[in-house]
Amino acid sequence: MDLIVIAILFLLLFLGLADNQMIAALLPALVKSLRVDVSTAGLLVVVYSVAAAVASFFSGTLSDHFGRRRFLLAGAAVFAVASWAASESRTFNQLLLARVLTGLAAGTLSTCSVTFAADWFAYNVRGRAIGLISTAYFAAPILGVPIAAQIADRFGWQRSFLFFAGLAVVCALASFRLPPERLNPQPSGDKLRRVGQSFRSFLSRRDTSAALVISFLVSGGLVGFLTYIGEWLNIKFGLPTRTIGWVFMLGGCVAVLTAPLGGILSDRMGKRDICIASNVLLAVAVVFVPFLPWGIALLGVFALASLGAAFRQGPLTALMTEMVPAAQRGSFIALRNIASQMGIGATAYVGGVLFQNSGYGAVTTLCAIMTALVVVLLATHIVEPRGEEGEAA
């Protein structure tokens, strides 16, 4: 059953991630087709992030009281409808509205898949389990982004969204195989009234408030780096959408192979220490990318950036899920995801302005600084939790 849980949660997470990441590869095509500039097209990422943050707040909080499974089922169904709507869009405003709906679904899937995994797996093996599930973050560039890029290149970008609508239907059907809730949450008006107190405690505590800032910086720094790299490769080296998709595939291959290892090592060596080392590597790699010529060196440094991002994902998520009691986990992960989406939205917007006015080097400098700040906060504000010993459920 553990492998089934991991596989289904991987699929659900992959769905939203691949859909979101493909925007970077499709950006040149969208700019030309919809006749907008890069900073305007970047709003597709911004509105998606805002919608995902809103959905995270409600789905995470309510899932503490009504269970995660039903939200995962609903999220996949809504995702299918939203992706179909995007495939039918003919103007930028129509696509923007469709991406809002997609973001609502993706925020629900992201929040509830992580909390379901944290509920199901004990902390001493959670790094390994979430490391495997988190390979979805990097399988997305390997599978989803290149496929979307190929479809867009041959049939138009609308068909890429139609592909994800079909994938969402498959994920919705697979979600029926998820086991019953372990916690058996019971809704109650009294519990719901205490949600506000929980949120205040998260914001007042030194470690949990720092964790929220870390989430803002982690997501914003990585997505800002990736969102505009496709347009930079197209403008500077003349690479077509198809080739840009293969660049993402390279980074994804490296990440998928190394993300599980990061989770395994974190269960043995400490999740915080692995996170610190990974963020140092990522920050250094991001700084160098825009100053390299097209070729082996650039691809190698991009692969190192992918390695750093992959190694930290499972350990960081496992670390944060243990910082609060299980009964408050959904609410905290909701806040974490809101912070992440705010980071993505803010960095996508600022990055678009920086790219337009100062070039990609300004974008990567911002993202490197954000990643370096993550290292500082991990070292000064976060203590490795003492999770309960035990075997995986």
pLDDT in tens, 57-87: 788 777 777 778 888 999 999 999 999 998 8
Q: What is the CA radius of gyration of the chain?
A: 19
Q: Which residue has the higher pLDDT, 137 or 106?
A: 106
SS (H, E, C) 31-67: HHHHCCCHHHHCHHHHHHHHHHHHHHHHHHHHHHHHC
- Is the pLDDT reported for residue 308 higher than 60? yes
- Is the pLDDT reported for residue 392 higher than 70? no
Q: How many domains does the chain have?
A: 1
- Least confident window among 65-74, 88-97, 151-160, 318-327: 318-327
Contact 302, 244 (CB under 8 A): no
Give the pair of three-digit tokens for residue 34. Answer: 């919809």
Confidence of residue 182 (pLDDT cuts 50, 70, 90): low
Q: What's the pLDDT tens digit per position in 284-301?
A: 999 999 999 998 999 999
Contact 371, 282 (CB under 8 A): yes
Average pLDDT, the chain: 82
Calculate mean pLDDT across residues 347-366: 89
d(CA 329, CA 321): 7
187 domain-assigned: no
188 domain-assigned: no
Scan for tokens 């059953």, then name that residue: 1
264 domain-assigned: yes
* CATH classification of the domain holding 41: 1.20.1250.20
pLDDT given at position 304: 92
> Quick check: pTM over 0.75?
no
393 domain-assigned: no
196 domain-assigned: no
Calculate mean pLDDT across residues 363-371: 94
361 domain-assigned: yes
195 domain-assigned: no
pLDDT given at position 298: 92
- 73 three-state secondary structure: helix
pLDDT given at position 389: 40
pLDDT given at position 191: 56
387 domain-assigned: no
pLDDT given at position 97: 92
Alpha-carbon 11 to chain mean position: 13
| Percent residues over pLDDT 70 in the chain | 92
Contact 130, 318 (CB under 8 A): yes
What range does the domain containing 35 cover? 2-179+202-381
- Least confident window among 168-177, 251-260, 300-309: 251-260
